[in-house]
Amino acid sequence: MVRTGWQRVGSVLAGAGMVLGLLSAPAQAEVEVDRGELQRALDELVASGTAGAQIRVHDARGDWVGTAGVRDLEHGGRVPANGSFRAGSITKTFVSTVVLQLVGEGRLMLDDPIAEHLPQFGLDPRITVRMLLQHTSGLFSYTGESFPDGHTEPGIPTGGPEFVAHRYRQYSPPELIEFALSKPPRFAPGGGWSYSNTNYQLLGMLIEKLTGTPWSFQVEHRILLPLGLRDTVLPGSATEVPDPHAQGYLAYPEAGELKTVDITSHNPSWGGAAGEIISTTADLDRFLGALFAGALLPSGLLAEMRAPHPDSGYGLGLESFDAGAECGGRYQGHSGGVAGYQSLLFSSADGSTHFSASMTTGALDPRDPGAIDRNIAARDKVVEIVACGTDLPDQRISTP
């Protein structure tokens, strides 16, 4: 998955079958300000194939929460304004924060070879902790890979009928790592950039090795409890999303027909330290604000975390996109995509604008590239309006 930031969000979901309902609900606002253009963009997002959406925005005009679409394709209902959702790869920012805290405590160094800490996998000794955090290890992603020439190499099933049939299967981190290591690496360690979920499964195991406790315990006690993130859950193998929540769906062709399955309930152990977290827009917004304010990391390590890779814009567990100088410049945070749910969490460099969002995937046909492109463009428009205060049709936000 050689994609970055906002570009990666739509492309990964479409390519993996986790792609994105046509009723909209009025916004629920915390502050009475005119957000009509943003609300219309949310409604257009739903009209393009997303089942439901919720977004939390802070900018110079104050705080605002908006929703669109339905919580359930069968029964309708308003999308909860602060409902729980599967936040996918936003997990990586939490895991990266814990790893960097351990670096700050002197328990390891960023340029330590990971093989010294996890010798059981026979990893290339050139792969460092920093490379795992920044996706420059070259390791194959166990969820599959897309290559520049257009061909793909499948990983474990994360979409389509095979995922539905085995949605409650239990995976272990060593199992996923060993599967990835059975595939050729993308490139020599440090020789490129390629997004790989395998990197963060290894980091989860590294946290456990250094602390003697699961990575999830460390995230809970170092981040969730101190920040009061009471609605954030690290489910492990628990299959349900806490109420209130919108339902997520998986659409795929079967016998020539489009089948749409409610995939809200499934075992997220395949995601683990790379993507299992469940949260709310309020909790995620509080986490990113505390992180960038220096409440979780010393300034030097926070600077290391935020330093973007020259080819991808990816820091150490942070994605980015460039909105242009007049719209806040570089935004950093992370996106997430798992079956049924897409999520966003980003802040401008100065913290003056930040937003978190969840979108539940609906009955969008993965065989229709035009429909997928329209849905991605509708999501881009929402982000542009948040960043710039208005849609910029001739200046699409893109990653460097």
Q: Is 89 a catalytic residue?
A: yes
| 265 occurs within a structural domain | yes
Asked whether residue 337 is domain-assigned, the answer is yes
CB 195 within 8 A of CB 337: no
> Per residue in 144-193, pLDDT tens?
999 888 899 999 999 999 999 999 999 999 999 999 999 999 999 999 99
Residue 400 lies in a domain: no
Quote the pLDDT of residue 29.
Answer: 37
Query: Crossing angle of helices 369-388/36-47, nearest 10°?
Result: 170
Strands (E), the chain: 50-59, 62-69, 85-88, 144-146, 152-154, 249-254, 257-262, 277-279, 319-322, 330-338, 341-348, 354-361
Which pLDDT tens digit goes with each residue over 121-143? 999 999 999 999 999 999 999 99
Q: Is residue 184 assigned to a domain?
A: yes
Residue 395 lies in a domain: no
Encoding tokens for residue 102? 């351990």
Torsion of CA 302, 306, 310, 316, to 10 degrees: 80
Q: What percent of the chain has pLDDT over 90?
A: 84
Q: Supply the pLDDT for residue 33.
A: 55
Is 237 among the domain residues? yes
Q: pLDDT value at position 20?
A: 24
Confidence of residue 7 (pLDDT cuts 50, 70, 90): very low
pLDDT at 34: 66
Token readout for 48 is 């393009």
Domain count across the chain: 1
Domain residues for the domain of 233 are 5-388
Residue 3 has pLDDT above 60, yes or no: no
Written as six digits, the tokens of 61 are 């005009």
Residue 206 has a pLDDT of 98
- Give the pLDDT confidence score for residue 399 in this predicted structure: 33
Q: What is the pLDDT of residue 6?
A: 36
Q: Give the pLDDT of residue 119.
A: 98
Which tens digit of pLDDT belongs to each residue from 259-293? 999 999 999 999 999 999 999 999 999 999 999 99
Q: Given the DSSP bridges, would you call strands 62-69 and 257-262 parallel, antiparallel or unpaired?
A: unpaired
Residue 78 pLDDT > 50:
yes
Whether the per-residue pLDDT at 18 is higher than 60: the answer is no
**Quick count: other Cβ atoms within 10 Å of Cβ 123?**
21
What number is the average pLDDT over the span 325-345? Answer: 95
Q: What mean pLDDT is predicted for residues 42-66?
A: 96
286 within domain boundaries: yes
Residue of 24, 48, 84, 89 marked catalytic: 89
**Taking the mean position of all CA atoms in its chain, how far away is CA 235?**
16
Mean pLDDT over each residue of the chain, to the nearest integer: 90
Q: What's the token pair of residue 329?
A: 């410049």
Q: How confident is the model at residue 303 (pLDDT cuts 50, 70, 90)?
A: very high
CATH code of the domain in which 28 resides? 3.40.710.10
For the cut 80, the answer to whether the pLDDT of residue 394 exceeds it is no
Which amino acid belongs to residue 192?
Answer: G
Paired with 254 in beta bridges are: 257
Segment 188-216 mean pLDDT: 98
